[in-house]
Amino acid sequence: MTTQSEERKWQGDWGGEPAGVEDVFALAAELARRVIDRDGKIVPLPEPIQVEAELALSPPREGVSIEVVAERLWRLLECTPNTSGKRYFNQLFAGRDDAAMLGEMLAAVANNSMYTFKAAGAQVLTERALLAHMGCKVGWASCDGAFTPGGSMSNFAAMLVARNVSLDGVRERGIDGRPVAIYTSAESHYSIRKNAGMLGLGRDCVRAIEADIDGRMKVAALREMLERDIAEGVTPVAIVATAGTTVQGAFDPMRDIAEVAHEHGVWLHVDGAFGGSLLLSGKRRPLLDGCELADSFTWDAHKMMGVPLTCSVVLFRDPGLLQQSLDESASYLFQRDEDDYNPGVRSIQCGRRNDALKLWAAWQHHGDEGYERRVERQFALAAHAVGVIEADPNLTLVRKPQSINVCFAIEGVDAREVCGLLDSEGRQKVSHGTVDGRPIVRLVCVNPDLTEADLEEFFEDIRWAAQVIGDR
């Protein structure tokens, strides 16, 4: 029989009264305040070996109070890059959205899994409404889709459906050894090749099509490679066009690519993980001209839309294809309601967190018009950065930006060294890339809360780092 003291310990006592929900909320609010207070500060990161030596990272044998947990959480956060601060330019996401944060916190409190209406209720309807709205932005009157844990998995789901549509019987019997091919730009995301391996098609089936000087897939090279493969008995599985490449932010010519795809009956997927959000701006939508001709589309709201990680969707022009590729019988799970209200039949996951609520909250707050203004602000920041670069004889704009990625080189120094020094000194966190075989700094103007003064400070730090390296 369990004693009273043992029962209290089981409830989380550890020598005192169990923490209540209000206590947890208060601790969370205090930790969140500390994180936000770091937004404008310089916080050099310690080396990994130092973090491992100084912090208690392994799970303890005996549990500790919630207050101790909170303090340990803060010590971890102190050693964590602040992606919402105005010195963070390293990835294709940055900044903070209040409404989206509110939705994210409540999703954790409610803790619904998004496989059935029975388990998630109104949250399923919220997800359906978002997918339909995003499909309309692509240009489809109706569509199908799913939320996934990131753009790579959205691309995976699209490639999975493309595989099943293109190769008869593959879902039931597996790969039969026939030669296949997937076509994508040499500048496309690494997930395309990775996914081909996970799908059993083989990484070597991915054809890296040459890109032009601006990082856009060459359609003539695509056509030549595709027709050569068909003549040699290779079965095309999919063409993957990119809307916003990782380094240059380039947009493949989707209408021309769609013409090739339709001529040969090949599935066309658009990886708009980064650039899909430009569909929210009437002025920028022409960069995605022809995307409505695609069969599937990836869109990450956790990038340009500022929603907390992760919030990615994969959309399909033809309803039903996703369910055909993913549905399985499970009477213990799908016990009521039509399939339309049970997203689990169209998901690559079973248990799935609610990533829709934060996007819904943000879209309620901003509306379509607010998101259009957000995109235009991001472009305005990129234009300002270009102006600074062009006015400085020691900086070289390597390409005119197609979107909000500004790639530039620094006279006399290696961009990789500059980015490394700024990172180690805690001044700025910015990424480097390669264009024309030359290391460059990749400045992504994705945080609309930045001011022109913030960008001026960024470039002052670039000049400082270049001077320090040049004097060595």
CA distances from residue 308 to 33, 152, 369 in whole angstroms, order as listed: 17, 16, 20
**Which residues in the chain land under pLDDT 70?**
1-19, 42, 332, 334-335
Six token digits for residue 270: 């658009």
* Amino acid of residue 357: L
- Residue pointed to by tokens 């005996």: 62
- CB count within 10 Å of CB 206 equals 22
Largest CA distance in the chain: 80
CB 291 within 8 A of CB 297: yes
d(CA 459, CA 45): 21
Nearest to 440 by CA among 468, 470, 399, 404: 399
* Amino acid of residue 171: R
State CA 338 to chain mean position distance. Answer: 31
Q: Which residues contact 254 (CB under 8 A, 6 or more apart)?
A: 241, 243, 270, 288, 289, 290, 291, 293, 294
Nearest to 305 by CA among 92, 19, 153, 120: 92
d(CA 265, CA 452): 48
Q: Where are the alpha helices (DSSP H) in 391-426?
A: 415-424
* DSSP SS3 for 148: strand
- CB count within 10 Å of CB 22 equals 8
End-to-end CA distance of the chain: 73
d(CA 146, CA 131): 7
CB 163 within 8 A of CB 170: yes
Instruction: Spell out where 243-386 has E strands.
Output: 267-272, 296-300, 312-316
Q: Does the N-terminal peptide bond of residue 83 adopt cis geometry, omega within 30 degrees of 0?
A: no
DSSP states along 1-20: ---HHHHHHHTT-TTSPPPP
Six token digits for residue 388: 């600074």
d(CA 358, CA 312): 12
CA distances from residue 34 to 29, 44, 128, 130 in whole angstroms, order as listed: 9, 16, 36, 33
The whole-model pTM stands at 0.93
The strands making up 267-272's β-sheet, listed across from edge to edge, are 144-148, 312-316, 296-300, 267-272, 235-242, 180-185, 206-209
Nearest to 266 by CA among 294, 292, 231: 294
Q: Which residues contact 156 (CB under 8 A, 6 or more apart)?
A: 148, 191, 195, 198, 199, 348
pLDDT given for residue 18 in this prediction: 56
d(CA 282, CA 351): 37
Rg (CA), the chain: 24
Q: Does the N-terminal peptide bond of residue 310 adopt cis geometry, omega within 30 degrees of 0?
A: yes
Apex CA 52: angle with CA 37 and CA 85, to 5°? 20
